[in-house]
Amino acid sequence: MTRQTFVIGTAGHVDHGKSTLVKALTGIDPDRLREEKEREMTIDLGFAWMTLPSGRRLSIVDVPGHERFIKNMLAGVGGFDAALFVVAADEGPMPQTREHLAIIDLLEIRHGVVALTKRDLVDDDWLELVQAEVEELLRGTTLEGVPIVPVAAVSGHGLAELVDAIDRVLDHVPPHASGGRPRLAIDRVFTMSGFGTIVTGTLRDGELEVGQEIEILPRGLRARVRGLQSHRRRVERALPGSRTAVNLSGVEVDEIERGDVLTVPGWLKPTLLLDARLRMVRDAPAPLEQNDEVDFFVGTSETLARVTLLDAERLEPGQSGWVQLRLQEPIVALRGDRFIIRRPSPSSTLGGGIIVDTAPRRHRRFRPEVIQALEALASGDPETILLQALEGDHILEWRELLQRAGLDESTAREVIQRVIAAGHVLVLDGGDGPLSPTTPLVRREGAERLSARLLELLEDYHARFPLRRGLPREMARSRLSLTQRAFDRLIHRLANTGQLVEEDEILRLPKHRIRLDAEQESRARAYEAALRREPFTPPAPADYGLDSELVQALADLGRVVRITEDVVFAPEAWETIQQRVLALIDAHGSVTLAQVRDELSTSRKYAQAILEYLDQRRITRRVGDARVRYA
């Protein structure tokens, strides 16, 4: 179905008549703040709407033109389908004209119309000169060749021609994807009596429905859609590409702010690190140096960032390069989102570009393999993008891979099934059903490297500690630097294929067994004989030359029962102890330490160790100074 909802946004210098033009086109004054009306200057984003002759519904976002409010302008421009670029005919291009054009060009907004406002204030010769100047200004930018329409908002001259030009331009705007993963970058938050919390923004990538559960990121808040409006009309479903107001239940207005993202739960994650292709504007006031601090803008969000230049010593005005951005605060973005960077002080636009990875590792500079991987991600080929997102030893869940790849789900699902069938990607849980959000995926070579590293760890551990059962599970996970979930999936695969054995929290190779040498065996037998001679007051291991490692080996082999570091019993003695303690409890309802001591003719030290071990094993439990059966 052809999309019928579009968003166009104004751009241009202060006092060039943007808001007046919007009001003349729509009958709606986009200046909603009292201060804006008093000062006759747009300060924040304004909104209006109209229906075009074709029947298309058009949302208009009016942005401030003054340089002091450029950050507010940037909060609105990211959702534009097309630009309504405004230049006053009596003044021609001015500083903010040029900066706004640079931003539109960096964001690659490729559709638009130029409105030469205040046409009634100039003669034809002057108008012709200004039009030529504007055409020259647009040359080499994304707006080169767009229609230029002279208008006079007060008299209405040229308004019909401007509306027709906008309608024709929208014929060439590609439809918005509706992939079931809606994102609404919030540009306004307010409350209304009887309704509660309301947020607005331009909806992308999917639909929203009344009653739907949503998540506010990066805050991680959960809420529900209580109601939806578009152009002040109630709707049950909001379509991608539309200006949308969302009435939320379950969240307070002071918990949300401009820059947050409303989406469906479970697929999008905030990030503090981004890889990107950056282009400097031609008239940037200074080059970009390694580790420079910049203001970073994406969607409606803004934060400070440090820049790592990956393939250049510095970026001069007009140059491009690969960068890694280290953000001061978490933001939400996808591969393919476009961004702007500005110098914090004195404030000015430096450049912008496209995000290629939202969950990268920290990169070292001037590494050819890093640049090669980034260029592959930027290529746009879905298979290359998916495989690159899984590059290295990453184990990603399907929902994580979708976010990193930035592809629509139907395309990504088709491609991943193909590369799984070809053996390039493995499903670690061994399932052959449809992909779920938590399905673990890994490149075949990545799985092989991780498996080899783990098996080498086990081989080395067995060689260094032959008397131990195996490597503690958490130690192995830490050495591989894997998340708990990813590690669990790797162990599951290796255990199922018989490459390792998992026993409790211990991992070992199938061939590994605890084996004592002749000298260790001799000392062990002598100690076992001593334990049988004194079953309830056993000697300490050190008395017979046994170190902790050998005692634990005997315990793991079942030849002794070790209840503390220095208190060890023969297995048959321990069985008798346990039976006699429980018999006392059954006879008296409970048992005290003194009763156990007397029953076994042992010392307080051993009686206390016995009862604490029984508590630890959940055979008994303490009630005051006595013990009862655990169950």
Query: What residues contact residue 148 under an 8 Å CB cut-off, 6+ apart?
Result: 113, 114, 116, 131, 134, 135
Residue 55 CB coordination number (10 Å): 8
Half-sphere exposure of 553 (CA within 13 A, CB side): 19
pLDDT beyond 70 at 54 = yes
Cβ–Cβ < 8 Å for 374, 359? no
| Topology agreement, domain 183-263 and domain 271-373 | yes
For 375-434, the DSSP string reads HHHTT--HHHHHHHHT-TT--EEHHHHHHHHT--HHHHHHHHHHHHHTTSEEETT---S-
What is the per-residue pLDDT for 376? Answer: 86
Report the percent of the chain where pLDDT is more than 90. 81
Q: State in words which class domain 183-263 has.
A: mainly beta
Token digits of residue 466: 């032959």
| Mean pLDDT confidence for 60-71 | 84
Q: What is the pTM of this model?
A: 0.78
Distance CA 619, CA 591 (A): 13
For 272-333, the DSSP string reads EEEEEEEEE-TT-SSPEETT-EEEEEETTEEEEEEEEESS-SEE-TT-EEEEEEEEEEEE--
What is the per-residue pLDDT for 236? Answer: 96
pLDDT beyond 50 at 2 = no
Cβ–Cβ < 8 Å for 446, 390? yes
Q: State in words which class domain 271-373 has.
A: mainly beta
Of the candidate ranges 134-148, 215-229, 374-388, 617-631, the one whose mean pLDDT is the lowest = 374-388
pLDDT beyond 60 at 458 = yes
pLDDT beyond 60 at 283 = yes
CATH fold of the domain at 518-629: Arc Repressor Mutant, subunit A (1.10.10)
Residue reference for tokens 């918005």: 176
CA distances from 346 to 66, 68, 295 (A): 15, 11, 11
Quote the strand ranges of 110-260, DSSP E: 112-117, 148-150, 183-192, 196-204, 208-209, 213-217, 221-230, 233-235, 237-238, 243-249
pLDDT for 153-172, tens place per residue? Answer: 999 999 999 999 999 999 99
Helix, strand, or coil here: 572?
A: helix
pLDDT for 252-272, tens place per residue? Answer: 999 999 999 999 998 899 999
Kind and range of the H or E element at 628?
strand 626-629
**Residues 5-170, CATH architecture:** 3-Layer(aba) Sandwich (3.40)
What is the per-residue pLDDT for 430? Answer: 65
Work out the end-to-end distance of the chain between its first and last CA atoms, rounded to an integer number of angstroms: 65
What are the residue ranges spanned by the domains of the chain? 5-170, 183-263, 271-373, 518-629
Nearest residue to 457 (alpha-carbon basis) of 490, 496, 486 = 490
Query: What residues contact residue 271 under an 8 Å CB cut-off, 6+ apart?
Result: 327, 330, 331, 332, 333, 358, 359
b/e 338-353 (16+ beta carbons within 10 angstroms → b): bbbbbbeeeebbbbbb
What is the per-residue pLDDT for 1? Answer: 39
